[in-house]
Chain A
């Protein structure tokens, strides 16, 4: 598995809660039903206020985002325990969220589902990066690079969560390590 994730960044600020990631009216979609999984992806981050975020995370009429890496401020994923949130992001092609901090349940759901890497960074990257910036996230080295300036920022290690996400979630991890039967 590649440990360097590349692509364009989508930048959001503090307190992006689960209602902004996937608004409540779409929660009747069941993530384990494949068609509904795809549909959830098409709504990812559609709850962001349009005046503050004129570029939509997933363009109208499409299912996949052009921005595989999300950069955020504090408390990303706060609010409800809905796993639809990391799943909607993962379904649309998001591979990582790099934030100053995560709400606990969102972080845990990212790990449990293996949908994406929730990476923490002490610096306030949402003030440095702009939506559309080309970035390189190196999970082994623990760095995030802004390609246009060459600036490199240190990210915090994922620790024990990393191998679980690498495996594709807790069930895959538990099978791979012999914790539960294959």
Chain B
């Protein structure tokens, strides 16, 4: 933050104007952000840098809701008018209109070659995440990019409209809470269990206004998908951002993905200060973690999966930025391979790349054979409910176990439905039995 503010040092509590490296917006907040930009800077105003804005429609795409379809058109018009470089449109015609074909249904592919899927996963996949940068987005899970050793946080439309015009934003430097991870996870335990455990420990507002730093040997042993899962959910403890120190694992991932999409390849990583001071400092022994569940009605209601065998479920869901990556589906498939799910089970990959990975490894077919309803249309889908025709949305009171990241009342649709958050392993095992199930029973 000091570098982005042109200062030699900053300390917690300082308010600094930072230069933004990447601003991301999507179909739900983009039209309002554009509205603020035009209202405040004028109808003919130009954005501060057409190469630093990334627009990723992903929330309400595969729905017949006319306003939602219109919102993608608003984004397209703005991109054309401003000449923006990075727009991952649903359709390929820059002058076209997006209309969802309800007759084709939500499972058959309805997007073109530009589409990128869920914004946070797509930002990484398309080479927009780099160590040492400032990334702001009009979505609370923007903190996911902290996995790459950058400062990333969610902002509202008005702030984003300000950034569109100026490239700057006033940010307060947060205090840091340190989560030192030691040891290796046991079989059946995933990164999702780590973050659910941590949130249960500090509470749903335990990190409000603060940065959550994950380090130690347990953190450096995690791959990028795992780090993204953890950083993504910093917001579920109220955190301003989550952050991992970049290392060779980070550089390898970033170098690979900044190669092919015309994005900036150079970056200047920032490492932890030697004399860092923490607001909170605790060590977690990963060897002691067990499959963990966040129960209705918030991400801080922590229980162990093995304690919840009496909870009968109506459905299971795997998808979203947090839980819809290739590694999430591979883990899920490990459990359900050769078996049949007992309850309605929905799978929504985060990006088209995930679908390609699953097909290449024949895992797509494994999931379909197990009875999982796999959608070919990547997106946020039922993770946040969405319009009534959204794939996997709960339209009546139900209990769902989900690999997603948030479970406040009504999050996945019906106001009286209940959502239990868990790892892809635990969701898979629970899909097989119809009740919350410790996945280790299936991994012997």
Residues of A within 8 A of B (CB): 15, 17, 19-20, 23-25, 27-33, 47, 49-50, 74-75, 78-84, 86, 101-105, 108-109, 112-113, 160, 169-171, 180
Taking a contact as CB atoms closer than 8 A, the residue among B29, B157, B162, B409 that contacts A49 in the complex is: B409
Which residue of B is nearest A46, CB measured?
B415
A75: chain B residues within 8 A (beta carbon): 204-205, 208, 238
A17: chain B residues within 8 A (beta carbon): 298, 406, 408-409, 411
B158 x A81 contact (CB < 8 A): no
Taking a contact as CB atoms closer than 8 A, the residue among A19, A83, A113, A170 that contacts B411 in the complex is: A19
Measured CA separation A171–B160 after assembly (Å): 12
A20-B410, A32-B31, A75-B238 given; name 16 further pairs at CB < 8 Å: A15-B204, A15-B408, A17-B408, A19-B410, A30-B31, A30-B32, A30-B67, A31-B35, A32-B35, A75-B205, A79-B408, A80-B139, A81-B137, A81-B156, A86-B156, A171-B161
Taking a contact as CB atoms closer than 8 A, the residue among A29, A30, A49, A105 that contacts B154 in the complex is: A105
Which residue of B is nearest A51, CB measured?
B416
A113 x B385 contact (CB < 8 A): no
Measured CA separation A100–B318 after assembly (Å): 35
A23 x B240 contact (CB < 8 A): no
Is B132 part of the contact surface with A, judged by Cβ < 8 Å?
Answer: no
A180: chain B residues within 8 A (beta carbon): 166
A160: chain B residues within 8 A (beta carbon): 15
B154: chain A residues within 8 A (beta carbon): 80-81, 105
B-side interface size class:
35 or more
Taking a contact as CB atoms closer than 8 A, the residue among B38, B139, B385 that contacts A81 in the complex is: B139
Chosen A-B contacts, 7 in total, with CB atoms closer than 8 Å, are A15-B204, A24-B385, A31-B35, A83-B32, A105-B155, A170-B159, A171-B158
Known A24-B385, A28-B60; judge A78-B205 contact (CB<8 A).
Answer: yes
Cβ of A47 to closest chain B Cβ, rounded Å: 5
Taking a contact as CB atoms closer than 8 A, the residue among B40, B159, B410 that contacts A108 in the complex is: B159
A28 x B158 contact (CB < 8 A): no
A30 x B204 contact (CB < 8 A): no
Identify the 8 closest CB pairs spanning chains A and B, nearest first. Answer: A32-B35, A83-B156, A81-B154, A109-B156, A28-B67, A17-B408, A112-B158, A75-B205
Measured CA separation A83–B28 after assembly (Å): 10
Which residue of A is nearest B142, CB measured?
A81
A102: chain B residues within 8 A (beta carbon): 208
Measured CA separation A171–B161 after assembly (Å): 10
B385 x A23 contact (CB < 8 A): yes
Cβ of B386 to closest chain A Cβ, rounded Å: 6
Interface of A, secondary structure class, is: loop
Measured CA separation A79–B298 after assembly (Å): 10
B59 x A19 contact (CB < 8 A): no
Cβ of A55 to closest chain B Cβ, rounded Å: 16
B158 x A83 contact (CB < 8 A): yes
A27 x B60 contact (CB < 8 A): yes
B385 x A49 contact (CB < 8 A): no
Known A79-B406, A112-B158; judge A28-B71 contact (CB<8 A).
Answer: yes
B35 x A103 contact (CB < 8 A): no
Known A78-B238, A81-B156, A82-B28; judge A47-B410 contact (CB<8 A).
Answer: yes
Is B225 part of the contact surface with A, judged by Cβ < 8 Å?
Answer: no
Measured CA separation A20–B297 after assembly (Å): 12
Measured CA separation A126–B129 after assembly (Å): 42
Is B53 part of the contact surface with A, judged by Cβ < 8 Å?
Answer: no
A83 x B209 contact (CB < 8 A): no
Is B140 part of the contact surface with A, judged by Cβ < 8 Å?
Answer: yes
Is B39 part of the contact surface with A, judged by Cβ < 8 Å?
Answer: yes
Known A19-B411, A28-B60, A32-B39; judge A82-B29 contact (CB<8 A).
Answer: yes
Cβ of B22 to closest chain A Cβ, rounded Å: 16
A19 x B384 contact (CB < 8 A): yes
B205: chain A residues within 8 A (beta carbon): 15, 74-75, 78, 101, 103
Q: Mark B11-45, 1 if CB is under 8 A from A, else 0.
A: 00001000000000000110110011011100000
B386 x A49 contact (CB < 8 A): no
Measured CA separation A181–B70 after assembly (Å): 32
Known A78-B204, A83-B156, A104-B240; judge A19-B409 contact (CB<8 A).
Answer: yes
Known A28-B67, A108-B159, A109-B156; judge A19-B408 contact (CB<8 A).
Answer: yes
Most buried by A among B142, B297, B408: B408
A74: chain B residues within 8 A (beta carbon): 205
Is B138 part of the contact surface with A, judged by Cβ < 8 Å?
Answer: yes
Measured CA separation A47–B408 after assembly (Å): 10
Which residue of A is nearest B30, CB measured?
A30
Is B376 part of the contact surface with A, judged by Cβ < 8 Å?
Answer: no
Cβ of B385 to closest chain A Cβ, rounded Å: 4
Which B residues, 368 to 421, have Cβ-Cβ distances below 8 Å to chain A?
Answer: 384-388, 406, 408-411, 415-416
Taking a contact as CB atoms closer than 8 A, the residue among A19, A20, A28, A101 that contacts B387 in the complex is: A28
Is B322 part of the contact surface with A, judged by Cβ < 8 Å?
Answer: no
Measured CA separation A64–B238 after assembly (Å): 30
B415: chain A residues within 8 A (beta carbon): 23, 47, 49-50
Is B65 part of the contact surface with A, judged by Cβ < 8 Å?
Answer: yes
A19: chain B residues within 8 A (beta carbon): 384-385, 408-411
Cβ of A84 to closest chain B Cβ, rounded Å: 8
Measured CA separation A178–B183 after assembly (Å): 54
B159 x A29 contact (CB < 8 A): no
Measured CA separation A32–B179 after assembly (Å): 40
Cβ of A174 to closest chain B Cβ, rounded Å: 8
A47: chain B residues within 8 A (beta carbon): 409-410, 415
